[in-house]
């Protein structure tokens, strides 16, 4: 009974651990709850030792990656400065969760309960965070300072509650996928289904207003999969509850309306009139940039024909700003600002990967300058210092495999890809039971591939990376127990 009560708490800790990627303040209650709970597990020393040995046995591939990253940290010139220190923190959290999972998850029933609770908490947190994001997008009191959330760099535009809007929307997307999965698997557990569907639409709306182009790409994949799942003849055995199909059709209908409204809102409505402009506030002040920037990013991802509309709007913005200040604005000034706006838009749109390509080229140059041993075994996180000096903004190449190659060399990259494939193969072997987790794994991998540096930096991706290893072990363990019982009967 004690074990069953602990599993929902572990699920809550995992979601809280992921939530601090969307709202940084979540790290404080996580530490407050996680550390005492973990220390308490060591009261029974014998069981703690068994769980430690069990965690090494189950998660040996993950532990190998942790050791590689630890070596990379201590090979770095300044191992306790800047981002490498953050990597050490991530490694600590992952290690604690490996131990807790080994301590409490002893059967497939435990595993199923853990996933159910994670899904429930994800849905709840995503809805709450989406509502907070919308509140921040349309109005934020002047006493809120985003410097307190992220002292290094922050955006004043969009619905994101932190500087990295991509990981903010990734959290929302994970909650959205779990929400639809709940509708498909067990709609009877949802009391107010239409209200639940409307809340999921708020999550989608907030994601679009963040300005994340990766969110558009991933949510498009999500809608395509949802459309396929709404065809009962193709997936009639995939879900036990056939009544769930009408709810997914309703979800798709609402989503279509939501997408049309959002796209029209971002493309045509903002900043056309003085009246519309008064609606939008950031830090208590009227803003011209909030919706304009989000609109530009969204349109650069899905279309090109509205560029002229934005150029005209930008000229109108410049005129209104000048009029408010009592200045006179010349034709030459408007023209110059228009050209500047056109250049900014061009940089956003042609091509979408232009900023990334420069970073990839720099990463390749750094690797080419490595010595032979460094190319084979890596040179730690020293490349971050070079990136910061060269770009003055970025610390890493925003290409996961290239980052792994730089800090752990060819050996580290081969090991990482091998374990990544290992984890994926286990997912595929148990796809019927792990389908939603595998889909989440793919979506999270798409997000982090062009944004992250180390093995486990994106929290939920780290969890999804290790979870098939646990399920595979439980599956084998159940078979072994079944064989022993069969032999005794025979």
Render pLDDT for 144-160 as a digit per residue (tens, 0 to 9): 444 444 444 445 567 88
Answer whether residue 317 shows pLDDT above 60.
no
| Cis peptide bond upstream of 351, omega within 30 | yes
Counting residues of the chain whose pLDDT is more than 70, the rounded percentage is: 70
Render pLDDT for 124-180 as a digit per residue (tens, 0 to 9): 999 999 998 888 777 665 544 444 444 444 455 678 887 778 888 999 999 999 998
Counting residues of the chain whose pLDDT is more than 90, the rounded percentage is: 29
pLDDT at position 157 is: 64
Answer whether residue 269 shows pLDDT above 90.
no
Highest mean pLDDT range out of 8-12, 77-81, 309-313?
A: 8-12
pLDDT at position 244 is: 72
- Overall size of the chain counted in residues: 490
Phi/psi region, residue 82 (left: phi>0; alpha: psi -120 to 50; beta: rest), is left
pLDDT at position 487 is: 59
Render pLDDT for 282-310 as a digit per residue (tens, 0 to 9): 444 444 455 666 666 665 555 433 434 34
Higher-pLDDT residue of 82, 260: 260
130: which strand partners?
A: none
pLDDT band at 315 (very low <50, low <70, confident <90, very high): very low
Q: Which residues contact 433 (CB under 8 A, 6 or more apart)?
A: 471
Render pLDDT for 319-366 as a digit per residue (tens, 0 to 9): 544 554 454 444 444 444 443 444 444 444 444 455 677 778 888 888
Distance of alpha carbon 130 from alpha carbon 196, whole angstroms? 14
Answer whether residue 273 shows pLDDT above 50.
no
Answer whether residue 271 shows pLDDT above 70.
no
* Average pLDDT for 243-258: 82
pLDDT band at 450 (very low <50, low <70, confident <90, very high): confident
Q: Which two tokens stand for residue 79?
A: 């191992």
pLDDT at position 29 is: 93
Answer whether residue 120 shows pLDDT above 90.
yes
Helix 383-391 crosses helix 354-368 at what angle (to 10 degrees)?
Answer: 130
Q: Which two tokens stand for residue 12?
A: 């809550």
Q: C-alpha 162: how far from its chain's center?
A: 12
pLDDT at position 341 is: 42
* Average pLDDT for 96-122: 93
285: which strand partners?
A: 282
pLDDT at position 304 is: 39
Q: What are phi and psi of 135, to 5 degrees?
A: -60, -40
Distance of alpha carbon 96 from alpha carbon 303, whole angstroms? 45
Q: Three-class SS string for the chain?
A: CHHHHHHHHHHHHHHHHHHCCCCHHHHHHHHHHHHHHHHHCCCCHHHHHHHHHHHHHHCHHHHHHHHHHHHHHHCCCCCCCCHHHHHHHHHHHHHHHHHHHHHHCCCHHHHHHHHHHHHHHHHHHHHHHHHHHHHHHHCCCCCCCCCCCCCCCCCCCCCCCCCCHHHHHHHHHHHHHHHHHHHHHCHHHCCCHHHHHHHHHHHHHHHHHCCCHHHHHHHHHHHHHHHHHCCCCCCCCCCCCCCHHHHHHHHHHHHHHHHHHHHHHHHCCCCCCHHHHCCCEECCEECCCHHHHHHHHHHHHHCCCCHHHHHHHHHHHHHHHHHHHCCCCCHHHHHHHHHHHHHHHHHHHCCCCHHHHHHHHHHHHHHHCCCHHHHHHCCCCCHHHHHHHHHCCCCCCCCHHHHHHHHHHHHHHHHHHHHHHHHHHHHHHCHHHHHHHHHHHHHHHHHHHCCCCCCCCCHHHHHHHHHHHHHHHHHHHHHHHHHHHHHHHC
């Amino acid at each position: 009974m004690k074990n069953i009560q602990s599993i929902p708490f572990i699920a809550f800790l995992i979601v809280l651990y992921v939530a601090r990627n969307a709202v940084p303040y979540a790290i404080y209650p996580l530490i407050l709850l996680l550390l005492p709970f973990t220390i308490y597990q060591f009261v029974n020393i014998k069981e703690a030792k068994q769980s430690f040995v069990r965690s090494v046995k189950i998660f040996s591939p993950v532990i190998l990656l942790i050791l590689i990253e630890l070596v990379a940290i201590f090979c770095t010139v300044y191992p306790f400065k800047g981002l490498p220190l953050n990597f050490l923190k991530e490694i600590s959290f992952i290690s604690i969760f490996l131990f807790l999972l080994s301590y409490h998850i002893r059967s497939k029933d435990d595993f199923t309960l853990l996933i159910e609770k994670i899904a429930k908490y994800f849905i709840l947190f995503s809805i709450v965070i989406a509502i907070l994001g919308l509140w921040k997008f349309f109005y934020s009191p002047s006493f809120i300072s985003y410097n307190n959330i992220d002292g290094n760099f922050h955006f004043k535009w969009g619905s994101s509650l932190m500087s990295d809007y991509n990981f903010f929307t990734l959290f929302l997307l994970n909650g959205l996928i779990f929400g639809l999965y709940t509708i498909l698997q067990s709609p009877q557990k949802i009391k107010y289904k239409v209200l639940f569907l409307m809340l999921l639409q708020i999550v989608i709306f907030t994601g679009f207003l963040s300005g994340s182009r990766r969110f558009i790409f991933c949510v498009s994949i999500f809608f395509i999969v949802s459309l396929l799942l709404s065809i009962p003849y193709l997936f009639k055995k995939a879900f036990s509850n056939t009544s769930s199909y009408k709810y997914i059709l309703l979800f798709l209908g609402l989503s279509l309306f939501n997408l049309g409204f959002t796209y029209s809102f971002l493309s045509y409505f903002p900043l056309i009139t003085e009246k519309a402009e008064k609606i939008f506030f950031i830090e208590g002040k009227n803003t011209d940039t909030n919706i304009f920037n989000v609109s530009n990013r969204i349109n650069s991802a899905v279309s090109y024909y509205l560029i002229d509309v934005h150029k005209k709007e930008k000229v109108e913005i410049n005129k209104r700003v000048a009029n408010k200040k009592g200045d006179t604005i010349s034709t030459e000034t408007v023209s110059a600002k228009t050209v500047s706006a056109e250049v900014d838009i061009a940089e956003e749109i042609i091509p979408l990967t232009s900023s990334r390509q420069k970073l990839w080229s720099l990463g390749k140059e750094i690797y080419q300058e490595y010595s032979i041993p460094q190319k084979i075994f890596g040179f730690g996180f020293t490349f971050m210092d070079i990136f910061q000096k060269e770009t003055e903004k970025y610390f890493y190449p925003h290409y996961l495999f290239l980052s792994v190659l730089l800090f752990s060399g060819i050996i580290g990259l081969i090991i990482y890809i091998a374990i990544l494939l290992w984890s994926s193969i286990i997912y595929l072997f148990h796809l019927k039971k792990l389908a939603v987790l595998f889909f989440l794994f793919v979506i999270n991998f798409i997000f982090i591939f062009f944004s992250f540096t180390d093995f486990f930096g994106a929290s939920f991706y780290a969890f999804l990376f290790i979870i098939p290893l646990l399920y595979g072990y439980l599956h084998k363990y159940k078979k072994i127990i079944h064989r022993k019982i069969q032999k005794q009967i025979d």
